[in-house]
Amino acid sequence: MPKVSVKVKWGKETYPGVEVNTEDDPVVFKAQIFALTGVQPERQKVVCKGVTLRDDSWANFKLTNNALVLVMGSKEEDVPSAPVEKTKFVEDMNESELATALDLPEGLINLGNTCYMNATVQCLKTVPELKNALLSYDKSSGGGTAGELTSALSETMGALEGGGAGACAGAAARLLRALHATAPRFAERAAGGGLAQQDASECWAEIVRALQQRLPAAPASAPIDAAAVSDRTSVIEQYFGGTLDVELVCSEADESPSRSTESFLQLSCFISQDVKYLQSGLRSKMSEQITKMSQTLGRDAIYTKTSKISRLPAYLTVQFVRFYYKEKESINAKILKDVKFPMDLDVYELCSPELQERLTPMRTKFKELDDATVETSLSARNKNHGDSKKENKKKTVMPYWFENDVGSNNSGYYRLQAVLTHRGRSSSSGHYVAWVARGDGWLRCDDDTVTPVTEEEVLKLSGGGDWHCAYLLLYGPRILEIPEKDEEPMVTEVADDTAGNPPTALA
């Protein structure tokens, strides 16, 4: 009887009808208790018929329907504190106090080697269009295991948006259960009996695949040529999907080049001895030699495969290919090489000539704005009495997509917004962490511990040692914000204005 309904008693509180799945790890049940009581799993002592529940095994802890489960333990806020609270500076605060003081978002509790899932969710949460689609998802729409996974992720996004630690713990437990149902390999056990560590990239791909099936494409804000978007039926394909124009040229025979198109949801950066920067790793993948059957020669021959991007997605996912299979040890060993990645990425040179031509108008606007910003900065520096209120001008936000292609990128410019890192020597061990941009700063989401970090710390995640190495990068579109022009020029000595309205910058 893997599923039973029990009664949980904690102090004076009783919670009847708590559903427990004994096929899950006991820590999942403890996460449910945390969601109900607010008692952290490590503070819990869970007893039934005199037997105490362990973290890694149900062992002799037998549950039946309507069994009474006693929980002992106190919430952190219930622990007695000193009568006089001294003033604390930020540098003296622990992580919990820092999160409260800085109004940091919630994290996701580790349910036993589930950091790979937690880090993936935190990175995907940085995409507002995807988050909004999940928050409005109809959880009763069915859809099999893909629908269950999408519903669980929708609940998790809602909990992270303001449901509190308890709601986040319960949602994470249900998300894990849905992930196991969708991809049973994630339920594999380690030698000690607990859940085995998994590859975050595989988890990312599995979640995106389910969302691709269940989240319909966002409606266009203006009439669109149906032929231009007919193949983009989901939010994932709209905002994460790109297209490559591929040309194959045989190096050993006089054959006509073959041309085709390929779709992608992420780009790969292969790491070789010569690759020191993300851009060079991406370039090397765009031109490579492959072996395939030649109809002219009647045998395998070497072909040069050249790829050019013909459709850029709004959100560009890049995977560093850091793991390779080591047959002797039967593990996915890790390449620790330092490969630098930028905060601002320009992929113009990776695009087809046709797409480059379409990108040019928006790139010109970015250049004009950058030049005007530099000119204004130099002008203000030369005026000791410059008006700082100019910085508060209203701005017009320009669309980052092409008019006939919602979810595309119309400039080729990207800004880094999430990094998923791995620390360890193989993909099936170690620890995964998400580093996400928020406002002008960055946050490190290490399971349920969220702390602020600097941009410099994020750029140090490029590898080269046993510290966290970037494994997946998520770039979002650079947004063009054009300051609105004042109706009247702003000067330090303002003359009486009897005809015009006050400048919008002062409003």
pLDDT score, position 221? 54
Residue 180 bears catalytic tag: no
Residue with tokens 């209203």: 394
Give 472-502 pLDDT, tens digit per residue.
999 999 999 988 876 555 444 444 444 444 3
- Catalytic one among 123, 203, 431, 469? 431
CA-based nearest residue to 334, from 179, 438, 157, 467: 467
71 DSSP 8-state letter: E
**For residue 386, is pLDDT > 70?**
no
Instruction: State the alpha helices, DSSP H only, in 245-403.
Output: 278-286, 353-381
Query: How distant is the alpha carbon of residue 171 from its chain centre?
Result: 17
Least confident of 68-77, 378-387, 469-478: 378-387
pLDDT given at position 295:
87
| Residues 132-141, mean pLDDT to the nearest whole number | 94
Q: How far apart are CA 253 and CA 257, in angstroms?
A: 11
pLDDT at residue number 108 = 95
Which of 110, 126, 124 has its CA nearest to residue 176?
Answer: 110
pLDDT band of 244, cuts 50, 70, 90: very high
The distance from CA 460 to its chain's CA centroid, rounded to whole angstroms, is 19
| pLDDT of residue 68 exceeding 50 | yes
Q: Which residue has the higher pLDDT, 335 or 155?
A: 155
Predicted TM-score (pTM) of the model is 0.80
The single residue of 115, 123, 168, 469 carrying the catalytic annotation is 115
Query: Is pLDDT above 90 for 34?
Result: no
Among 32-41, 443-452, 457-466, the range with the most confident prediction by mean pLDDT is 443-452
Domains of the chain: 3-72 (3.10.20.90), 101-218+233-241 (3.90.70.10), 245-316 (no CATH)
The token pair at 462 is 């490029």
Tell me the residue ranges of DSSP E strands in 137-238.
none
**Active site annotation includes 250:** no
Spatial distance between the Cα atoms of 482 and 398, rounded to a whole number of angstroms? 8
User: pLDDT tens digits for 171-206?
Assistant: 999 999 999 999 999 999 988 888 999 999 999 999
pLDDT score of 321 more than 50: yes
As given in the structure block, the two tokens for residue 494 are 């303002």
Q: Which of 198, 199, 213 is nearest to 153 (CA)?
A: 213
